[in-house]
């Protein structure tokens, strides 16, 4: 089973990207930071990992309201992409979210998205 759930803080406002296809497809992306603590006492260190989240189809309207500092849960399959970089082949991965949950808004005065359901699932017929 290819399924990943990430819970963390959003690093920047969601961005809508035109996929430059004839059907006008777009993807909404944002990054989520997760933290891990290793060691104890003076050897204790905190590590941050950044995860890319990609949202297609019906969830994009909800995803576009996500802002830097929001606490979210994103789940779905993980996929990889590779491309030629300056120093050779580069591989990246992302979660193709088919479920998004707003756990906490950084800006509590943002009411438009708060009025929507806290949990939004992908609609049937989505392109994945």
- For residue 56, being part of any structural domain is answered with yes
- For residue 128, being part of any structural domain is answered with no
pLDDT in tens, 104-127: 888 765 444 444 444 444 444 344
Residue 43 has what DSSP assignment? G
- For residue 120, being part of any structural domain is answered with no
- For residue 18, being part of any structural domain is answered with yes
Residues (pLDDT < 50) of the chain are: 110-128
- For residue 93, being part of any structural domain is answered with yes
Supply φ then ψ for residue 115, to 5 degrees.
Answer: -70, -20
- For residue 121, being part of any structural domain is answered with no
The pTM for the full model equals 0.75
Yes or no: say if 69 and 45 are a contact pair by the CB < 8 Å rule: no
State the total domains in the chain: 1
pLDDT of residue 94: 92
CATH number at residue 72: 2.40.50.140
- For residue 20, being part of any structural domain is answered with yes
Domain span at residue 54?
Answer: 4-113
- For residue 119, being part of any structural domain is answered with no
């Amino acid at each position: 089973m290819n399924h990943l759930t990430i819970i963390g803080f959003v690093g920047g406002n969601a961005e809508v990207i035109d996929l430059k296809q004839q059907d006008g497809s777009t993807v909404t992306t944002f990054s989520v930071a997760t933290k891990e603590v290793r060691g104890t006492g003076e050897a204790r260190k905190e590590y941050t990992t950044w995860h890319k989240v990609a949202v297609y189809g019906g969830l994009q309207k909800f995803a576009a309201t996500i802002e830097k500092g929001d606490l979210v849960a994103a789940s779905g399959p993980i996929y990889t992409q590779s491309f030629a970089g300056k120093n050779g082949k580069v591989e990246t991965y992302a979660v193709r979210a088919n479920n998004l949950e707003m756990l906490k808004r950084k800006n509590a005065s943002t009411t438009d998205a708060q009025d929507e359901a806290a949990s939004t699932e992908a609609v049937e017929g989505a392109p994945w």
